[in-house]
Amino acid sequence: MNRLKDATSPYLAQHADNPVDWFEWGADAFAEARGRDVPLLVSVGYSACHWCHVMAHESFEDRATAALMNELFVNVKVDREERPDVDAVYMTATQAMTGQGGWPMTVFATPDGHPFYAGTYFPRAQFQRLLHGVSQAWRNDRDAVVRQGSKIVEALNEQTWLPSGPLPTAATLEQAVRDLAGGFDPRLGGFGGAPKFPPSMVLEFLLRHGTPDAMAMADTTMEAMARGGIYDQLGGGFARYSVDAGWVVPHFEKMLYDNALLLRVYTHWWRATGAPLARRVALETAEWLLREMRTPEGGFASALDADSEGPDGRHGEGLFYVWTPDRLREVLGDDDGAWAASVFEVTGTFEHGASVLQLLADPDDRARLDRVRTALLEARERRPRPGRDDKVVAAWNGLAVAALAETGALFGRPDLVEAAGAAADLLARVHVNDGRLLRTSRDGRAGRNAGVLEDYADVAEGLLALYGVTGETRWFGLAGELLETVLTRFADGSGGFFDTADDGERLFQRPQDPTDNAVPSGRFAAAGALLSYAALTGSSRHREAAEAALGTVTVLAGKYARFAGWGLAVAEAALHGPAEVAVVGPAGDPRTAELHRAALMSTVPGLVVALGEPADGGAARTEVPLLEGRPTVDGAPAAYVCRGFACRAPVTTPAELKAELAR
């Protein structure tokens, strides 16, 4: 066993019995490299990465290759999900040097951590030649290698970050819709060609924008994804992306962040349209999260692997999920098996004559479909399961808290709200210490890595959503603490934010990415949480910080709107106020619940809801400023629709509240 045997990251633990003498990222590795006078070999990946497993099997488990690595380098294994800051700076360098990036990422660096050569996956023979070549250059041409590393670091630190413009206007957002339409696939949904990734943040913007053109793009994309192979038609939940343009064949890993974001946006799609498909997919995905991703401590695991073992002993990608007509007949019998093969498009589109399941149209016999799906899911549960990365990542759990809280409230599922509360409680107990946040935990034990901007922002977002659903002010208070740290430790002095805190570990570059990727950028996530908090408190400081952070949206909207979906969604909320609804009434009164639900059902972009109980005299008893001085009406629960803390006359029925919000 090497030094990774005690790692909290399951990805690092997977390499604990490699013959490679791995170090975790940290001072020990740098000191060892300086002491031995050899370069660092930094290998970055994550547990659900298919090609990471391939390179590990070919090279890191091979004794001859490992011997070369141990002799010539100090080898450092990094979980990109545990250390997104390390991943970000080396990925920037890798892309600058090679024109592309990906995982596994292989970086050679000086003992000070300055990269001088990089790539991604290397087959064993090529990797061995590279090891010899890099080591020879280090021994024989040290000055040139060091200069190369210094030049790369200097160039990266001199790069100009995306400029910030004024707060987006309605015209800016219309331009963004036109830009998105230019890359939209009207037949298959989504944007661009293969591979296609679920554009969850763009979809949230389109739903908030709500014009016919925007809704048409959202409707087409969300139905196509829900009916395609990227969606698990038996167990719920979405795969990471589709390798083709038609959402048919997925890359089979399932990530918590994708499913949290998609759960929330499918719930919002149902809220906007009432589509039965939206309801089914949202609830199935929520149930998948609770069934397969929940940890014993109440949090949610990071990912399920793409690879698993097949029925014939083969180990490969997607084998847990695919079916053949013969296998369907074995499980269902001849009649139901043939029917299922037709309904689910099992025609041998995948390897070895198998198919992923699609449901391109709902069959007339819904009871038969439900019976068949149940039988197939039960049979699939007996297959060898994909591996699960069970570390809890703060940011992604924040996204899950928001999604489950809103889904539970809108669909009348208190179990989902309770699950959101349990995850929030784990974050509060294990990840938060004196207003500071730790990135990960496992088995209820916190990791040692500091939270990055997305952790603070996404957890604050989730806590504010949970407060809006439950009225529990502890979540509101904790969100305020986290956002205070965002403002004091992450601000860049020009209206944006760095991805790491000013008192954190110093890398060769302080990362700052203003664009969305697989998750909302830290900058846009912070803007959204700050805006909601400002709406609940009346804080001009938080409002101004949110507006300043949205300045890059104006720059991105015209040509790169796909990379600013969350920022565009937050900008929609800012332009609409956002609207504020204060609901005051006894917790057990059904009239309070009806008003509260009516507020949560509103499609007004970014609307915030405050819920409080009346004290003596009817005024709300609360720590939330939006509720202060808001009494019941003649003893009846009341709702106040406000904007910038300026409120209209209170209403006492859901119909009146809906009419007020429509204004």
- Could you report the per-residue pLDDT of 368-391, keeping only the tens digit for each? 999 999 999 999 999 999 999 999
Give the model's pLDDT for residue 609: 98
Q: Which of 243, 245, 241, 236 shows the shortest CA–CA distance to 263?
A: 236
Give the model's pLDDT for residue 576: 92
Does pLDDT of 617 surpass 90? Answer: no
Does pLDDT of 94 surpass 70? Answer: yes
Does pLDDT of 303 surpass 80? Answer: yes
Give the chain's mean pLDDT.
94
Give the model's pLDDT for residue 156: 81
Model-level pTM? 0.94
Does pLDDT of 435 surpass 80? Answer: no
Q: Edge-to-edge, what's the strand order for the sheet holding 22-24?
A: 22-24, 74-79, 40-45, 105-109, 115-119
Does pLDDT of 313 surpass 70? Answer: no
Choice among 176-180, 258-262, 617-621 with the minimum mean pLDDT: 617-621
Give the model's pLDDT for residue 161: 66
> Between the CA of residue 659 and those of 220, 580, 582, what are the distances in Å?
29, 14, 15
Over residues 459-497, the pLDDT tens digits come to 999 999 999 999 999 999 999 999 999 999 999 988 999
The DSSP output letter for 579 is -
Give the model's pLDDT for residue 280: 98
Q: Is 473 exposed, middle or buried (0-12, 13-18, 19+ CB in 10 A)?
A: middle
Choice among 95-99, 204-208, 408-412 with the minimum mean pLDDT: 95-99
Q: Edge-to-edge, what's the strand order for the sheet holding 608-614?
A: 620-621, 608-614, 580-584, 638-643, 646-647
List CB contacts of 628: < 8 A, sequence separation 6 or more: 619, 620, 622
Over range 563-582, report the average pLDDT: 96
Does pLDDT of 310 surpass 80? Answer: no
Sign of the alpha-carbon torsion through 79, 80, 86, 87:
positive
Are domains 3-158 and 170-192+267-280+290-299+389-575 of this chain identical in fold? no
Over residues 488-524, the pLDDT tens digits come to 999 998 899 999 999 999 998 899 988 999 999 999 9
Q: Go through 136-147 and write b for each residue having 16 or more CB atoms within 10 A of its CB, e for each that does not.
A: ebbeeeeeebee
CATH number given to 3-158 = 3.40.30.10
Choice among 49-58, 307-316, 374-383, 497-506 with the minimum mean pLDDT: 307-316
Give the angle subtended at the CA of 37 by the CAs of 131 and 105, to the nearest 5°. Answer: 40
Does pLDDT of 333 surpass 80? Answer: yes
Give the model's pLDDT for residue 158: 76
Over residues 262-287, the pLDDT tens digits come to 999 999 999 999 999 999 999 999 99
Give the model's pLDDT for residue 175: 96
CATH topology of domain 170-192+267-280+290-299+389-575: Glycosyltransferase (1.50.10)
Does pLDDT of 6 surpass 90? Answer: no
> Using 50, 70 and 90 to split pLDDT, how confident is the model at 148?
confident
Does pLDDT of 618 surpass 70? Answer: no
Give the model's pLDDT for residue 306: 87
Tracing tokens 């049979």 back to the chain, one arrives at 379
> Using 50, 70 and 90 to split pLDDT, how confident is the model at 153?
confident
Over range 432-436, report the average pLDDT: 86
Does pLDDT of 561 surpass 80? Answer: yes
Amino acid at 54: V
Q: Which of 105, 117, 106, 107 shows the shortest CA–CA distance to 149?
A: 117
CA-based R_g, the chain, Å: 26
Q: Which of 520, 521, 439, 529 shows the shortest CA–CA distance to 475?
A: 529
CATH number given to 580-662 = 3.40.30
Helix (H) or strand (E) holding 242: strand 241-242
Asked if 530 and 543 touch (Cβ cutoff 8 Å), the reply is yes
Give the model's pLDDT for residue 621: 67
Name the residue ranges covered by the structural domains of the chain: 3-158, 170-192+267-280+290-299+389-575, 321-382, 580-662
Does pLDDT of 569 surpass 70? Answer: yes
* Cα 462 from Cα 422, distance rounded (Å): 12
List CB contacts of 409: < 8 A, sequence separation 6 or more: 417, 469, 597, 600
Over range 101-120, report the average pLDDT: 94
The neighbouring-strand residues paired with 436 are: 433
* Cα 571 from Cα 195, distance rounded (Å): 28
> Using 50, 70 and 90 to split pLDDT, how confident is the model at 316?
confident
Over range 28-33, report the average pLDDT: 96
* Cα 154 from Cα 493, distance rounded (Å): 21
Amino acid at 433: N
Asked if 654 and 602 touch (Cβ cutoff 8 Å), the reply is no
195 cis-preceded (ω within 30 degrees of 0): yes
Does pLDDT of 311 surpass 70? Answer: no
Tell me phi and psi for residue 277, to 5 degrees.
-60, -40
Find the length of the chain: 663
Give the model's pLDDT for residue 2: 82
